[in-house]
Chains A and B, each alone.
Chain A
């Protein structure tokens, strides 16, 4: 067991998999010698050589397209798209190719690749370094969408994703790389070492896909959140005095429905929190599932807290970011009458 940040935990996952499986290769922009702009692959090229860990041209379509070919050959590529905001040129390769290959060839060819993408804002990145485009993948049949919120899960879920025979979109909330950021941008960042999930085994382990985690038990209402919003929701619970049960969805799709349904049936109230824009966001799917499965247990309308339906602004970042105050206000609405 070691104390790790999210960056170190992700690196450890890739290190373990490069060591265990000769078919794992890692590439993307700046991931080789330099070790990635967020340092997630630091030292891996030196350890495993230039044909296992290497730099790629600035071409997301080329990175993902070539990774599909490698996966069809029998490798397990783990590619990095430097910011989730940059994946768009690769969307055709992801949707029409990676997600469809097993189906269209009836299992003749498969594409077991993992696409890592740092997502989310809070770093003054403007609208090209802050987006949370998870709903563009949860809508796509044939891919799995995963977003860890802490070092332990990050390592376990990344290993599970690499070992998974389906293509996995692996989102890394970049504001969590170095600490469990709870939305209070004006306060000093709490380091991961102060959080129990920073205790990470150095060896191989997995956190199963399609499993959610109850990260805070509570009786008043159920919060469905993932990524950075897990900590924002915990802060909102602390600060509002409302005893919220916070569920970290972790595997967005396919997801762990029983954990969600059991909690909402018990609390009778549900607040959904995500950083992405609101309309057509993954929260809409969560709300639909909750009303389908828990309608007669609901005592109040389902609340959604999200980023606004605008591009992620630069100067007004903290007015956009759904912080603890906005989440707490939703808690209070959900507790009426």
Chain B
């Protein structure tokens, strides 16, 4: 070794505008190759799974290997419809933002399989602590009205959150969806606390925590891993690695030459690295983790490999920092196309049905939007009344807020 002078390593993505990405950095495994250990596997024996990739669907749409779930095709059709609904919802809301009917939006284009398949693996009463890109958890459900969600996006009179939160920062306790924080990462350790509480009370409900690759660098992520391991909390710790945190490549969060799943193994947590664009793999891995949590076997960390196909938010232009056509070259493809291909392959779907479903979800989204607009948009000033600004700061309004309310109203 020559000693030379010291050099600082500042990671760079392989692709930039005008330079195609070399996705070999993802180190993909072929579909069906990763082994499926029993749910009571010792966390240290998941080391290989934290560096390889659990995949079920191959490029031809076949379900391969030990992770291929035994699942009723009707559930898969429902999953496909949920993904299509999520994408249609996002697409309409992007237009609404450009029409200035909402102030801001965040889509989950390309990542739809993760939340929608995971939702299918959970049970009523479980609690998700999502980031702002898991709207699929809500849109996969039939009992959450799109109109209601759109009213939140428009901060109108029917916004359940009284216009206090940025668009997409939903809160749905009744749907097991914790209030989203724009601070990122804080929810990860809160989910562990919720799971600890469930265990303290001898309950059967589990928590599901979500974080992006970028915010795993926050202390909350590491606190969550420590607490989840120490107290063997019934929680699933999901890291959605969509490669990008606004303009920052995942290597800057610490993904270079290692994986985010590997963090879990080091903390004594069973860990998997999974193809997040493979609906079957997401469902199978989620079921595995759910079973572990509910059987007192403790937490599971899952890194979902996916790609943020759209901009970070409506305030972002990704063509400034990555190739504009990057997603088309992403080797794990489009989750909707892949599940559709699989269902057609097993004779449970058809091009015609796909087209018909597309029209249906588009129509339902448009219909919901028309109704939501009737309750007011950002454009027409139907915002919540002034007094609501002073409510809910405390359980009861203290004297100083009553005084300030009077001044603000005067």
Contacts and interface: CB of A to CB of B under 8 A. Distances in A.
How many A residues are at the interface, by size bracket?
Answer: 35 or more
A114 B161 CA distance: 25
Given A65-B193, A69-B189, A104 B164 contact: yes
Contacts of A142: 393-394
Interface stretch (B53-61, B86-94, B171-179, B296-304): B171-179
A73 B395 contact: no
Contacts of A66: 189-190, 192-193, 196, 223, 227
A61 B223 contact: yes
A105 interface: yes
B224 interface: yes
A298 interface: no
Given A103-B393, A210-B398, A70 B194 contact: yes
B231 to A, nearest CB: 8
B96 interface: no
B161 A106 contact: yes
B67 interface: no
A70 B161 contact: no
B183 A61 contact: no
A278 B43 CA distance: 52
Contacts of A96: 181, 183, 186
A107 B392 contact: yes
Contact of A62 (B160, B189, B394): B189
A69 B234 CA distance: 13
B186 A106 contact: no
A102 B196 contact: no
Interface string B159-170: 011101100010
Interface in A49-88: 51-52, 56-57, 59, 61-62, 65-75, 77
Contact of A104 (B171, B173, B395): B171
B193 A68 contact: yes
A65 B189 contact: yes
Given A97-B181, A166-B394, A254-B398, A70 B171 contact: no
A254 B395 CA distance: 12
Contact of A25 (B173, B186, B200, B219): B200
A59 B226 contact: yes
A109 B161 CA distance: 11
Contacts of B201: 73, 75
A224 B191 CA distance: 41
B392 A102 contact: yes
A51 B183 CA distance: 30
B344 interface: no
B222 to A, nearest CB: 8
A136 interface: no
Contacts of B161: 104-106, 108
Chain A CB count within 10 A is highest, among B193, B196, B399, for: B193
Contacts, number: 138
B400 interface: yes
B395 A70 contact: no
B193 A257 contact: no
B178 A65 contact: no
A129 B326 CA distance: 53
A141 B193 CA distance: 23
A166 B220 CA distance: 23
A93 interface: yes
Interface residues of B, number: 44
A103 B165 CA distance: 9
A74 B197 contact: yes
A134 to B, nearest CB: 17
Nearest to A59: B223
Given A74-B197, A75-B197, A106 B392 contact: yes
A142 B227 CA distance: 26
B394 A69 contact: no
Nearest to A58: B226
Contact of B171 (A25, A74, A106): A106
A241 interface: no
B261 to A, nearest CB: 21
A166 B395 contact: yes
A166 B183 CA distance: 21
Interface in A106-127: 106-110
A101 interface: yes
Interface string B240-283: 00000000000000000000000000000000000000000000
A92 interface: yes
A75 B181 CA distance: 21
A69 B220 contact: no
Contacts of B197: 25, 69-70, 73-75
B161 to A, nearest CB: 5
A89 B219 contact: yes
A97 B394 contact: no
Contacts of B399: 254, 257
A65 B395 contact: no
A317 interface: no
B179 A109 contact: yes
Contact of A72 (B178, B226, B398): B178
A75 B169 CA distance: 24
B129 interface: yes
B219 A61 contact: yes
A65 B190 CA distance: 5
B207 interface: yes
B192 A69 contact: yes
Nearest to A103: B392
Given A108-B160, A254-B400, A73 B226 contact: no
A299 interface: no
B84 interface: no
A92 B181 CA distance: 11
A69 B193 contact: yes
B153 interface: no
B198 interface: yes
Interface in A154-208: 164-166
Nearest to A164: B395
Interface in B200-240: 200-201, 207, 219-220, 223-224, 226-227, 230
14 contacts: A25-B197, A61-B223, A69-B190, A69-B196, A70-B196, A70-B200, A73-B194, A96-B183, A96-B186, A102-B392, A102-B394, A103-B392, A104-B161, A107-B392
Given A72-B194, A105-B161, 9 more contacts: A65-B223, A67-B193, A69-B129, A69-B197, A69-B207, A92-B183, A97-B186, A97-B190, A142-B394
